[in-house]
Chain A
Amino acid sequence: MVKVKSLRPRRIRESFTDKIFLIVVYAFLTVVLLIVLYPLVYVFSASISSPLAVSSGRVWLLPVDFSLRGYQVALSNPQIITGYANSIYYTFFGTLVSVVLTVLAAYPLSRRNLFGRNIVMFFITFTMIFSGGLIPTYLVVKQLGMIDTRWALIIPGAVAAWQVIIARTFFQQSIPDDLVEAAELDGCSDLNFLWQVVFPLSKPIIAVLALMYAVSQWNAYFDALIYLKSASMQPLQLVLRSILILNTTASGSMDAQTMIERQQLADLLKYTLIVVGSLPVLIMYPFVQRYFVKGMLIGSIKG
């Protein structure tokens, strides 16, 4: 009797303070949304505005004098084309090597009866806590003769301890011990089992690993900065750094007649390059973000 009476009104009525609180919540989230969204919209708008409008500071939210001049210039710049091609190369092969090595390490480490797996796991995890540092690592890469070769961007950063932990946790959760035993009874070798049973079951984790490695490879610039000298091998991020941050004007392909036009184009080009440089990742983003969330959650179970 009492229970029923107290239940009904409370479900319908949001108390006054709750209403106020909810308004605060919506207001806060709206502000956050706008703050995050604004720079993205602004940069994109500027990138499709005319050089003059950008240079004279007339763009602040929406495009002014729609023009694709910036893209035209960006995509006819040999430096940027080379950078793009290099980045695709590094991302593709880097991801391939990383995923293969990570999966091949994580699967054995997920097998409960493998002697010594805890020791190996400890050695891998320890590298996350303590490292020799920049110079000692550089010396190793140098000793291996990788300086100024494409290998330097693929091999030295190939395996991330964190990704091994994520993949191992996944295997432990999704490959039941019974399945392993049953396969062993049938005389199935470890490699056959990995190839025929584990791989088909691990598509989600392979997707997670591939995307995480690919995004970090595409976005990286530091290894290229310290290991590469030749301009012909530079990834896009390093090209963008020299144009956007160091302000070396991308000349050559610019057919600008006057200094003013050249300056206007240089201004516009910065906005365009930001869009061009992050486009591949941001286009993929809506489709792949759930994989990242998944990867993060698998990781946090362990952590």
Chain B
Amino acid sequence: MTDTRIACSEYMTPEKSLTDIKPIKANPHRGKSSRSSAWYAAKVSFRRHWQLYLILLPAVLYFIIFKYVPLTNAVIAFKDYNVIQGIWGSPWVGLKHFSAFFDNPVFWTLIQNTLGLSLYALIVGFPLPIILAIFLNEIKDGLFKRAVQMITYAPYFISTVIMVSMVILLLSPRLGVLNLGLQAIGAKTVNFLGIPDAFPTIYVWSGVWQYSGYSAIVFLAALAGVDPQLYEAAKMDGASRLQKIFNIDLPGIMPVIVIVLILNVGSILGIGFEKVFLLQNPLNLSTSEVISTYVYKVGLLNANFSFATAVGLFNSIVNMILLVAVNQFAKRVSDTSLW
């Protein structure tokens, strides 16, 4: 006990100096290059806090093994991977798989479907939560407000499998409520999920149903942070509710809107696999096949590992470029950005 006490207090002084980098008198490396003082800082930090590094280690290993090793495994996109020769032993083939993908007629269909779904989802799914949040912010606190919030947030917790099952059931030609309604008015029943052109609408609006309440939370929190004095001042000037929304609410939450928009645009080619895959059927495949489902089918079902990795890599790279570009753009235009 006494030992640790001495050991700890001994390091107190250099420790303080570390936070503002400048070495103090006790530092033997005073006056030397910044590199050696950084080295010194690392050594002191490591000796003092080895326990912290130790508990950090498992997570670091996790990220190396499950996130960074896959990054190096992605070299098989430039090789003809086979199990016998392994990842590093398989022969290099350069950009063969990439050009095979670009020349494949399915390429443009995939891009069109993926971009189409994303843009549709963005145009509908982005403004609705903002409107929901602003409207919720307009009404008095009370049972109704809390009920709307609680209930619109609930579908977020439903799993993708169950969500898709509900969509299939509700749209089913035999049992679905929508078709029962059509029958009741004497119209013919429709197999909605079998119509390729209906797929984007089903995908996007079921997503809106599931996620709008959840997405609104961030905007509601931002609205709660708007300076109340602004509303007081507006009230004095006799501003109408709409004027308050356009002149106080929207400018007040603009930074949050921009951030959410950047994230949305940045993942525009990253249509999630889970929901599209479950909603797919042979009839709607012409509009429902997106990059991620294609990668799964070509890669894991047909065991064409190299080609599928090339497609996936292309997708990741485009996504990253988009995110960086949108972020730079937002920085220029609005002074708000992710980094």
Q: Which residues of A contact B (CB under 8 A)?
A: 6-7, 10-11, 15, 17-18, 21-22, 25-26, 28-29, 32-33, 35-37, 39-40, 42-43, 54-55, 57, 60, 101-102, 104-105, 107-109, 111-116, 120, 123-124, 127, 129-140, 144, 155-156, 158-159, 161, 164, 184-191, 194, 215, 218-222, 226, 237-238, 240-241, 244-245, 267, 270-271, 273-274, 277-278, 281-282, 285-286, 289, 293, 296-297, 300, 303
- A22, A57, A130: the one contacting B320 at CB < 8 Å is A130
A137 contacts B45, C-beta separation under 8 Å:
no
Chain B contributes a number of interface residues (CB within 8 A of A) equal to 103
Closest to B39 in A: A115
B9 contacts A136, C-beta separation under 8 Å:
no
Q: A116-B42, A159-B62 are in contact. Are A135 and B169 (CB under 8 A)?
A: no
Given contacts A6-B236, A22-B138, A281-B157, 10 further A-B contacts (CB under 8 A): A22-B139, A32-B212, A33-B148, A108-B56, A115-B46, A124-B59, A130-B320, A159-B63, A245-B165, A297-B221
**Interface residue? B1 (CB, 8 A):** yes
Q: What is the minimal beta-carbon distance from A278 to any residue of chain B, in angstroms? A: 5
**Interface residue? B120 (CB, 8 A):** no
Q: B residues 263-315 with Cβ under 8 Å of A?
A: 263, 273-274, 278, 292, 295-296, 299-300, 305, 308-309, 312-313, 315
**Interface residue? B166 (CB, 8 A):** yes
Q: Which residues of B contact A (CB under 8 A)?
A: 1, 4-5, 7-9, 12, 15, 18-19, 41-42, 44-46, 49, 51-53, 55-56, 58-60, 62-63, 65-74, 76, 87, 131-132, 135-136, 138-139, 144, 147-148, 150-155, 157-162, 164-166, 168-170, 174-175, 177, 180, 209, 212-213, 217-218, 221, 235-236, 238, 240-242, 256, 259, 263, 273-274, 278, 292, 295-296, 299-300, 305, 308-309, 312-313, 315-316, 319-320, 323, 338
B175 contacts A57, C-beta separation under 8 Å:
yes
Q: A10-B238, A226-B300 are in contact. Are A35 and B8 (CB under 8 A)?
A: no
- B19, B58, B59, B166: the one contacting A43 at CB < 8 Å is B166
Q: What is the minimal beta-carbon distance from B155 to any residue of chain A, in angstroms? A: 6
- Alpha-carbon distance between A42 and B166 when the two chains are bound, in angstroms: 10
A237 contacts B159, C-beta separation under 8 Å:
yes
A101 contacts B58, C-beta separation under 8 Å:
yes
Contacts of A296 in B (CB 8 A): 217-218, 221
Q: A123-B63, A241-B278, A296-B218 are in contact. Are A267 and B240 (CB under 8 A)?
A: no
B241 contacts A18, C-beta separation under 8 Å:
yes
A-B contact pairs, 30 of them (CB 8 A): A32-B152, A32-B212, A33-B147, A57-B175, A102-B59, A104-B55, A104-B59, A108-B53, A115-B42, A123-B68, A124-B63, A127-B68, A131-B67, A132-B70, A134-B299, A135-B308, A137-B73, A139-B70, A139-B87, A140-B66, A155-B66, A188-B8, A190-B52, A219-B159, A221-B159, A244-B165, A245-B168, A245-B278, A297-B217, A300-B221
Q: A29-B139, A105-B59 are in contact. Are A140 and B70 (CB under 8 A)?
A: yes
A36 contacts B151, C-beta separation under 8 Å:
yes
Closest to B61 in A: A101
B241 contacts A277, C-beta separation under 8 Å:
no
- A11, A60, A136, A238: the one contacting B70 at CB < 8 Å is A136
Q: A15-B240, A131-B316 are in contact. Are A282 and B19 (CB under 8 A)?
A: no
Contacts of B274 in A (CB 8 A): 221-222
A187 contacts B4, C-beta separation under 8 Å:
yes
- Alpha-carbon distance between A29 and B149 when the two chains are bound, in angstroms: 10
- Alpha-carbon distance between A40 and B154 when the two chains are bound, in angstroms: 10
- Alpha-carbon distance between A104 and B177 when the two chains are bound, in angstroms: 50
- A29, A101, A137, A191: the one contacting B136 at CB < 8 Å is A29
- Alpha-carbon distance between A119 and B144 when the two chains are bound, in angstroms: 47
6 nearest CB pairs, A to B: A133-B312, A132-B70, A105-B59, A115-B45, A219-B159, A136-B73
- Alpha-carbon distance between A123 and B71 when the two chains are bound, in angstroms: 12
Contacts of A267 in B (CB 8 A): 175
B162 contacts A240, C-beta separation under 8 Å:
yes
Contacts of A184 in B (CB 8 A): 8, 12, 15
- Alpha-carbon distance between A218 and B161 when the two chains are bound, in angstroms: 11
Closest to B44 in A: A115
- B56, B148, B256: the one contacting A29 at CB < 8 Å is B148
- Alpha-carbon distance between A133 and B9 when the two chains are bound, in angstroms: 48
Q: What is the minimal beta-carbon distance from A208 to any residue of chain B, in angstroms? A: 14
A303 contacts B217, C-beta separation under 8 Å:
no
B161 contacts A237, C-beta separation under 8 Å:
yes
B4 contacts A18, C-beta separation under 8 Å:
no
- Alpha-carbon distance between A234 and B79 when the two chains are bound, in angstroms: 34
A289 contacts B300, C-beta separation under 8 Å:
no
Contacts of A277 in B (CB 8 A): 159, 161-162
Q: What is the minimal beta-carbon distance from B262 to any residue of chain A, in angstroms? A: 10
Contacts of A134 in B (CB 8 A): 273, 292, 295-296, 299-300, 308, 312
- Alpha-carbon distance between A207 and B9 when the two chains are bound, in angstroms: 35
Q: A36-B152, A190-B49 are in contact. Are A221 and B312 (CB under 8 A)?
A: no
Q: A54-B175, A113-B15, A115-B45 are in contact. Are A187 and B5 (CB under 8 A)?
A: yes
